[in-house]
Chain A
Amino acid sequence: MTFDLSSFLLQLFSGLSRGMMLFLLSSGLSLIFGVMNILNFAHATLWLFGGYLTYTFIQLFAKAFGSTVLAILPAIVVATGLMFFLGVALERFIVRRMYARELPEQLLLTFALILIFGDLIKLIWGVENRRIFLPIEPLEILGSFINPYFFVIIGSGAGIAAGLWWFLHRTRYGKIVRAAVFSRDMVSALGIRIPFIYAGVYGLGIAIAAFSAGVFLPIMPIGLGVDNDLIIQCFAVVVIGGFGSILGTFVASLIVGIVYSFSILIWPDGALAIIFLILVCVLIWRPWGLFGTEMRY
């Protein structure tokens, strides 16, 4: 294995885009945990469900528009919107009942959701992997051939990160959400409807996940079982970054994504072992994560 500039760039870009996907998934996870204290183990399965949904809409729109490229954006928008409402419905009818329960019972519930949605995918879309092929010529940069779609992914990931930051820090609803992370009781005492905020946050988390699944469809085939590995890595990201910290989640996603894509070069089978080694070290050194605060348990 040679470490020349071109392979370095290739790994860097694939690591960055992987980091972006981890960020989009983990930010929803982190937000849901921060606001509602629910560890949503079903997050990656809903991500996968969103991916399949986007795939179906791409197929539908591609027939209508006569082009796959044109179909992608509207398909992602529609699927993301639908997944938002699915998230709201899940929160209203099922997840809401679990707020008073202990962590393991919430885990049991989200595990049931994993089984149900995993099997619904099998029921609706079958067991074959799905992938969208785009006619894209690789771009030559400093002697290495890089898929320009990486830039789309990195751009949209950074865009969502910025948008989330803007939403949380500059809008009224975002400020209410941050206040709810800090003290739920106080927020509801101020006359703000907490159930409404909860449903919105859950829907938002699921919608961001569905969006990332749609954006990644052209470079990453999706299939059953992808979600199991992914959810554990997302927990690694959230813990390394610190629970409830969006900035921490962003930094940790990039660290995990880049470390993963470079360790694949060195030790292909053990790339994930290295991620978990980092996680173990962070938990021993700073259990509350790189950017988290010690107070929250």
Chain B
Amino acid sequence: MTEKEMALQNGAAVKRLSRFGFSEKITLGLGLVLLLLPLLPGKYVVVVGAEIIILGLFAMSFNLLYGYMGEISFGHAAFYGLGAYTTALLMRYFQATGGEVGYVQFFFSVLMALPVTAVGSLVVGFFCVRLSGIYFAMLSLAFGELLFYIVFSWYSFTKGDDGIQGLLPPPFFQDVTHYYYFSLGVVAVATAVLWWITSSPFGYTLRMLRENKNRAAFLGINVRNCMLVNFILAGAFAGLAGALWGPFQRSVSPHLLGSMNSGTAVFMTLMGGAKYFCGPVLGSIIYTALNGYITLYTVYWPLTIGLIILLFVLFLPGGVLSVVDQWLRAARSSRLSSTGRALPSGRKSSGGA
């Protein structure tokens, strides 16, 4: 192994998010798998698949804050739930006035989640971006719980603990496979936008904030504004994911905003690998599929999932992708040295990646 490769492995460079190649290949590969998933026999796999897609977008929006900006939000589900309730309440309104939700009205309901959650995350973010580290996490948790209890107790508007039921999408989307492809399309567009954001100068500014906020400020970057813009973006994408969830499940409940749901985003991101663009999606596949299939076999699924998570966190630090990436890197460097292509001095080698 050359010096530069050593430096790449040991230093901050390992933390780089979009290593051209690996991340892109995995993202396209996952996209292909999700595109072909409904070919598998049975409806259940499609149901689980739709959950994977929606929760994957939710986790990716969380990773905009955690993986790129380096701040942990424990209240991210608040925006997910806010989006879900926006769509649900609009659909409920259209149902009350027209009897059934038309296609235009349905798309309108889903898209309205974006501006509503953007405004919501502007308000919350305005305060959160003033803090960092554990205080950022705690303030986001507090806002999330505050929103949860407001939705929970405002019975006349949100139906409280009962939630809102009977959210039927228009006839074409009532078929689960059709809804699956609709969600996949929306999430694919969102993923493309996220990719564009994270590989733009703004995305690299976020990475700089993660590494050192003071240095970024010295370079003339308005740290709070950048964090706020990112917070709003993350909130809006979470809201879009939530908007897809309501019509898929035909109902929304306050627990979508709860701290446990915020935890889900964190877990999926960590299991997949927060340092990679598509890590959250892979995490969503692992977590949701585990949830979906273990519940079929045992009533003690929390115990099983708990043990699996325990093994994941103890033996796969940095998530699945991080370990795979390290394997590939080790394999490549050993292949290079065995074919004699790597220069023995190490100085002139261009290194891996």
CB neighbors of A among B173-194 (8 A): none
A236 to B153, CA, bound (A): 19
Is the beta-carbon distance between A108 and B127 smaller than 8 angstroms? no
Task: Verify if B150 is at the interface (C-beta below 8 Å from A).
Answer: yes
Chain A residues 99-118 with CB under 8 Å of chain B are 101, 103-105, 107-109, 111-116, 118
CB pair B142–A115 under 8 Å, yes or no, is: no
B-binding segment of A168-176, A191-199, A271-279: A271-279
User: Which one of A65-73, A119-127, A159-167 contacts B?
Assistant: A119-127
Q: Are A279 and B142 in contact (CB under 8 A)?
A: yes
Interface size on B, residues (CB 8 A): 43
Contact A108 B142 (CB under 8 A): no
8 Å CB contact of A122 from B131, B135, B300: B300
Question: Would you call A137 an interface residue if the criterion is a C-beta within 8 Å of the partner chain's C-beta atoms?
Answer: no
**B302 near A104: Cβ-Cβ < 8 Å:** no
With A228-B260, A297-B134 known as contacts, the answer to whether A94 contacts B300 (CB < 8 A) is no
B-binding segment of A56-64, A78-86, A179-187, A280-288? A280-288
Distance to closest chain B CB from A220 (angstroms): 21
B60 within 8 Å of A (CB atoms): no
| Residues in A whose Cβ lies below 8 Å from that of B134 | 39, 103, 243, 297
Selecting from B28-36, B39-47, B114-122, B309-317, the interface stretch reads B309-317
A228, B260: Cα distance in complex, Å: 8
Tell me whether A104 and B152 are in contact (CB under 8 A).
no
Q: What A residues does B127 contact at CB under 8 A? A: 280, 283-284
CB-CB nearest in chain B for A97: B314
Chain B residues with Cβ below 8 Å from A138 are none
Question: A108-B313, A115-B306, A115-B309 known; 18 other A-B pairs, CB under 8 Å?
Answer: A94-B314, A107-B263, A108-B266, A116-B303, A119-B306, A120-B303, A228-B259, A232-B259, A269-B152, A270-B153, A273-B152, A277-B146, A280-B146, A283-B139, A284-B127, A284-B139, A288-B135, A297-B134
Q: Give the shortest distance, in Å, between A264 (CB) and chain B (any CB).
A: 12
Q: Is A235 an interface residue (CB 8 A)?
A: yes
- Contact A104:B142 (CB < 8 A) given known A109-B313, A116-B307: no
Which parts of A224-243 form the interface with B (CB within 8 Å)? 228, 232, 235-236, 239, 243
Q: List 17 A-B contacts (CB under 8 A).
A: A97-B314, A98-B313, A109-B309, A111-B306, A115-B305, A116-B307, A122-B300, A236-B145, A276-B145, A276-B146, A279-B145, A280-B143, A283-B127, A283-B131, A283-B138, A283-B139, A288-B135
In this complex, how many residues of chain A approach chain B with their Cβ under 8 Å: the count is 42
Q: Is the interface of B mostly helix, strand, loop or mixed?
A: helix
- Whether B131 lies near A112 (C-beta < 8 A) is no
Q: How far is the CB of B191 from chain A (nearest CB, A)?
A: 22
* Contact between chains at A273 and B153 (CB < 8 Å): yes
Q: Is the CB of A111 within 8 A of B309?
A: yes
Chain A residues lying within 8 Å of B130, measured Cβ to Cβ, are 284
Within 8 Å by CB of B300, from A123, A272, A273, lies A123
Interface presence of B137 (CB below 8 A): yes
Checking A101, A113, A239, A270 against B138 with a beta-carbon cut-off of 8 angstroms, the contacting residue is A239
3 nearest CB pairs, A to B: A115-B306, A269-B153, A273-B149
